[in-house]
Structure 1
């Protein structure tokens, strides 16, 4: 069973559980003449919405790439997670409004053995369902399933609040129904916003995990002829699709044929091991005399002393034009990058007046 099939199966279990729980509540509610239990059953039917959205999003995200969407449709999963998160936030706001009304105009709820039985059953079922769906979502890296599982867990929390209120009412004859509802509603809204952040960040283009970047660099460095790995840029187009690029440094004596074979092997390994479609760029390293090595060391030491630069790489000396090329990465807090470049170039030119400089400012996309 592949990833999409597991997501759909988990969502179908969620739908079945909510339908059965709603049916149980509805029957008990009608027999006991409790409109509260009947309305809670209707609420369980509305929870089916989360699972349906997950199934639809998963099916559409599995559609193959086409001319309009050459990177596939994987990001639809993020959109479905956003829809569910918005639904959770809306439910929290609605609950907050209703709880606020109870605080302003308190009522004395009545609890029976039947009511308490339904409440306890709902808590147990929802907690088990929420934990199962959320853990499956985390294992499959599905934001939609995680959001759907959280939705079920929040329902259990709300119902638990009702149970706590009922116990306090029965023991001390004091109702905190409204106050407890307000607190729980605020927690649901907060959690919904946190759930929303993950898929939104994925669509905006969040930074790839440092663990994956480290694994990529370590893997590429295992190839003979690779002297360094830089400029790792990765974009996610769904949990199963990552497209990006990176630079490797090789000696300037490496032939075009050797570079072609090397980059082809690296691209194949990254696809095979990480599922990454990668383009490989090249930095050449001078393999000349000691003068070039000494010059590189001086330039790098000077760059390291610059407080606004966190990294420099890609040093190369064109001996024919006496031009030194170098890429620098400013610190995250630097806003005037062009100003930094001018100051840096001025210092280099004053220190090494016999050379020309070609400096490129890179962004820190991964480290």
Structure 2
């Protein structure tokens, strides 16, 4: 089934389940004269909001690219997940406030067998609903659906706490409503912040997984004529929509026509397998000159031995103009990469390369492990 259809169908199930619970509790609450059950019914209606937000976000994310949004609207899903995470946080804070009030001003609630049955039914429905929604959310990689499922699970936990508290009250006449509620509320607040981190990081531009980088490199290296892959940069614009760039090594004897063919075929490979729209840059490798090979080994060996240099690549010697060019990637935490580059170039000039001019580019570590 189409991913968006699964998300919407699962969200509709959440709406139906919460409306059923709200209606059931409202009827029972009015018949039993229980304000607590009626208020819990209202809480179930508010839970419908998470599912509605997920559906609206999914529908908006389906909109095709246009002039003002050339990469589509896929990132709207991240905003949906943020809104639901905020709802969870608000629920946790609200529950904490009420629980603290109960600690300082404890009450002696009255529980009946009928009330306990209602609580058990609500717990079972919420647990089943929450587990199903979260499972589907993980399968389709939807942060909004995962957050919505977590919201349902937290409701079940809060209701379970009510059940435990009721049992202790009936058996030992001890009220732990406040303390138990406060503990669970803090756990919900913590989980809310954790849920919030994923979509926020996606919007900020989170580092892609090392496995994804390895998969991209492995696919590009299948292309005939490619002798290395570097500088992989990928931006996510929603599920399955990626924009990025990378550099590849080719022999300096490769013609412009051959380079164009390599470029196009790499772009097709990456789009077909990963949905990645990629721009490909070209590095040349010296051929037929043992001096260039010796110089490369020596300079790269010095780079890799340097404690502040993570890696180096893109090496090429222009003997006609006496220019050596390559890239270096500083380690994280280097405060002045430009000073590091200048210091490394000076060390090379002092080690027998004074007849050459160095063109050394600084790379940020966007994707390397």
The reply to whether TM is greater than 0.5 is yes
Aligned to 1:264: 264
Structure-1 separation of matches of 2:138 and 2:354: 57
Instruction: Tell me the secondary structure at the aligned position of residue 223 of structure 1.
Output: coil
- 1:236 aligned residue: 236
Alignment partner, residue 9 of structure 2: 9
Shift of 1:342: 1.5
The reply on whether 1:344 has 2:340 as its aligned counterpart is no
Give the equivalent residue in structure 2 for 1:304: 304
Distance across 1 between alignment mates of 2:347 and 2:290? 23
**CA RMSD of superposed structures (Å):** 0.7
The residue number in structure 2 matching 1:31 is 31
Q: Counterparts of 2:230 and 2:291 in 1: how far apart (Å)?
A: 25
The answer (yes or no) to whether the contact 2:242–2:277 under 8 Å persists in 1 is yes
In the alignment, the residues of structure 1 paired with residue 289 and residue 69 of structure 2 have an alpha-carbon distance, to the nearest angstrom, of 50
Question: Residue in 1 aligned with 2:361?
Answer: 360
Once residues 338 and 300 of structure 1 are traced to their aligned partners in structure 2, the CA distance between those partners, rounded to angstroms, is 18
**SS of structure 2 residue aligned to 1:232:** strand
Please give the per-residue CA displacement for 1:304-358, whole angstroms capped at 9, x wherever unaligned.
1111001000000011111000100000121111211111111112111111100
SS of the residue corresponding to residue 106 of structure 1 reads coil
Question: Secondary structure, in 3 states, of the residue corresponding to 2:231?
Answer: strand
Structure 2 residue aligned with 1:287: 287
Aligned residue pairs, count: 367
d(CA) in 1 for partners of 2:337 and 2:356?
Answer: 23
**Is 1:325 matched with 2:325?**
yes
1:343 alignment partner, SS class:
helix
Which residue in 1 is equivalent to 2:77? Answer: 77
Show structure 1 runs of 4+ deviating over 4 A.
none
Compute the TM-score of the two structures, normalised by the length of structure 2.
0.98
Structure 2 Cα separation of the partners of residues 85 and 205 of structure 1: 19
Q: Could you give the per-residue CA deviations for residues 176-201 of structure 1, whole angstroms, max 9, x where no partner exists?
A: 00100000110110000000000000
Gaps of 5+ in 2: none
Structure 2: how far apart are the matches of 1:172 and 1:195?
37
1:5 shift after superposition: 1.1
**Counterparts of 1:329 and 1:162, CA distance in 2:** 56
Partner deviation per Cα, 1:218-245 (whole Å, 9 max, x = no partner):
1111111110000000000001210101
Distance 1:77 1:127 in 2: 24
Residue in structure 2 matched with residue 212 of structure 1 by the alignment: 212
Residues 31-70 of structure 1: pairs in structure 2 closer than 5 A: 31-70=31-70
Q: CA deviation at 1:288?
A: 2.7
Is 2:126–2:153's contact at 8 Å kept on the other side of the alignment?
A: yes
> Partners in 2 of 1:137 and 1:191 — Cα distance?
16
Query: 2:252, 2:286 within 8 Å by CA — same for their partners in 1?
Result: yes
Q: Secondary structure at the match of 2:350?
A: helix
Between the aligned partners of 2:101 and 2:46, the Cα distance in structure 1 is 22
Correspondences of 1:188-203 after superposition (within 5 Å): 188-203=188-203
| TM-score (normalizing by structure 1) | 0.99
Unmatched tracts of structure 1, length 5 or more: none
